[in-house]
Amino acid sequence: MVTRYSQEPAVRVLAGNPKLANVSVTSIEDDINSTDSFIDNETGRSKLNPWTSNDPQWELIQDISEHYAAANTIERFNTYGNIELSYAKAKFLRDRADVWLASVMKSLPSSAAVPEEQDIQINVSHYETQDARTHDGETTVTTYRSTEDLLGAAPSNFGLDTETDLTKKIAEKNDIANMTASLDADIVY
């Protein structure tokens, strides 16, 4: 069951009571759904935490939804038969809903209107990568170390004792681009 903040009959009346043949129930319900999503987005609510009859502003939220949905319906279907009159009526309804929505926003705690950002902590294990370049037949090795090395952990040369051994080991590999280090990341929310 989808909870809507406004109902089709109320929106239809505000939209000038267009004939069912001209504006279907489904069309108005689509306008209500988009309006309710807009209200949720603006107020920091969601489909998992919608406005309900238990909220002190529930009746005002219903009125806001009705007015926005009716304005959308009027503009989409020119329910007053005159473009200028339809747009004027839609603007009146939307302006009224804007004032009411601003009132609701003012009454919300500051953290309710904008969802709080979540801190994400990433734990990374020790890693090293190497870049080997050949220039004029000479192999140059640059070792990049993780931030763990900057914090005092001893650097590792993959079990090799000297830079010469390291250079020889790298030269033995046919495709140096395939040498990669592992990176283990655990994301903690």
pLDDT > 90? residue 152: no
* Confidence at residue 119, expressed as pLDDT on a 0 to 100 scale: 56
Looking at residues 5-12, what average pLDDT do you find? 96
For residue 28, give the nearest of 60, 75, 61, 64 by alpha carbon.
75
Distance CA 149, CA 126 (A): 8
* Confidence at residue 2, expressed as pLDDT on a 0 to 100 scale: 62
Looking at residues 94-108, what average pLDDT do you find? 95
The crossing angle, in degrees rounded to 10, of helices 83-107 and 25-43 is 30
- Please tell me whether residue 163 adopts helix, strand or coil conformation: helix
* Confidence at residue 109, expressed as pLDDT on a 0 to 100 scale: 83
Tens of pLDDT, residues 156-181: 545 555 555 555 655 555 333 343 33
| C-alpha pair distances (Å), 149 with each of 83, 145, 153, 154 | 70, 6, 5, 6
* Confidence at residue 3, expressed as pLDDT on a 0 to 100 scale: 78
* Confidence at residue 80, expressed as pLDDT on a 0 to 100 scale: 92
Answer whether 7's CB lies under 8 Å from 36's CB.
no
Task: Give the containing element (helix H, strand E) for 124.
Answer: strand 121-124
Which pair of tokens denotes residue 186? 């655990």
For residue 141, give the nearest of 116, 169, 161, 113 by alpha carbon.
169
* Confidence at residue 174, expressed as pLDDT on a 0 to 100 scale: 39
Tens of pLDDT, residues 53-92: 999 999 999 999 999 999 999 999 999 999 999 999 999 9
Phi, psi of 71 (to 5 degrees): -60, -45
On the CB side of 143, CA atoms within 13 Å amount to 15
- Please tell me whether residue 23 adopts helix, strand or coil conformation: coil
The Cβ of residue 72 has, within 10 Å, a number of other Cβ atoms equal to 23
Tens of pLDDT, residues 18-57: 999 999 999 999 999 999 999 999 999 988 899 999 999 9
Q: What percent of the chain is modeled with pLDDT above 70?
A: 57
* Residue 30 vs residue 110, higher pLDDT: 30
Prediction pTM value: 0.59
